[in-house]
Amino acid sequence: MIPIWYYAGKRLSAELKSRQVPLLAMAAAFSFVIMMFNLPIPGGSTGHAVGGAIIAIVIGPWASVIAISVALVLQALMFGDGGITAIAANCFNMAVAMPFCAYYIYKFASGDAVITSSRRVIAAAVAGYISLVFAAALTGFEFGIQPLLHIGANGLPLYMPYPLSVAMPAMILEHLAFGFVEAIVTALIFSYIQRTDTSILFGDESRANRNKSNKPATT
Amino acid sequence: MEKIVKNFAKGLVVLIILAPLGLLAVGETFGEWSNEEIHEKLGFVPQGLERLSSLWGAPLADYAFPNDESQTGAITAYILSGILGVAICGGLLYYVGKKIAKN
The residue extents of the domains of chain B are: 1-26+62-103
ipTM above 0.90, yes or no: no
| Position A204 pLDDT exceeds 70 | no
CB A37 within 8 A of CB B19: yes
Q: Give contacts of B 15-74 with A, CB under 8 A.
A: 15-16, 18-19, 21-32, 38, 42, 44, 46-49, 52, 55-63
**Residues of chain B above pLDDT 70, percent:** 91
Q: Which domain holds residue A56?
A: 2-211
Q: Which residue in A20, A66, A79 is closest to B81 by CB distance?
A: A79
Contacts of A50 (CB under 8 A, 6+ apart): A31, A34, A35, A68, A94, A98, A132, A135, A182
Nearest Cα residue to B85 out of A77, A61, A83, A39: A77
The CATH number of whichever domain residue A207 belongs to comes to: 1.10.1760.20
pLDDT tens by residue, B45-94: 777 777 777 766 777 777 888 777 777 888 888 899 999 999 999 999 99
Report the distance separating Cα A150 and Cα B61, nearest Å: 27
Query: CA–CA distance from A183 to each of A187, A195, B82 (Å)?
Result: 6, 18, 23
Q: What's the predicted TM-score (pTM) here? A: 0.87
Whether A216 is covered by a domain: the verdict is no
Cβ contact A33–B56 (<8 Å): no
pLDDT digits (tens, 9 = 90+) for A126-157: 999 999 999 999 988 888 888 777 777 777 77
Task: Give the contacts of A156 (CB within 8 A, at least 6 positions apart).
Answer: B44, B46, B47
Whether residue A52 lies inside any domain: the answer is yes
Residue A215: per-residue pLDDT: 46
Residue A8 lies in a domain: yes
Q: Are A42 and A57 in contact (CB under 8 A)?
A: no
Higher pLDDT among residues A79 and A133, named by residue: A133
Residue of B nearest to A26 (CA): B90
A102 assigned to some structural domain: yes
For residue A192, report the phi and psi dihedrals to the nearest 5 degrees: -65, -45
In chain B, how long is the greatest CA-to-CA distance?
59
Considering the domain boundaries, does residue A92 fall inside one? yes
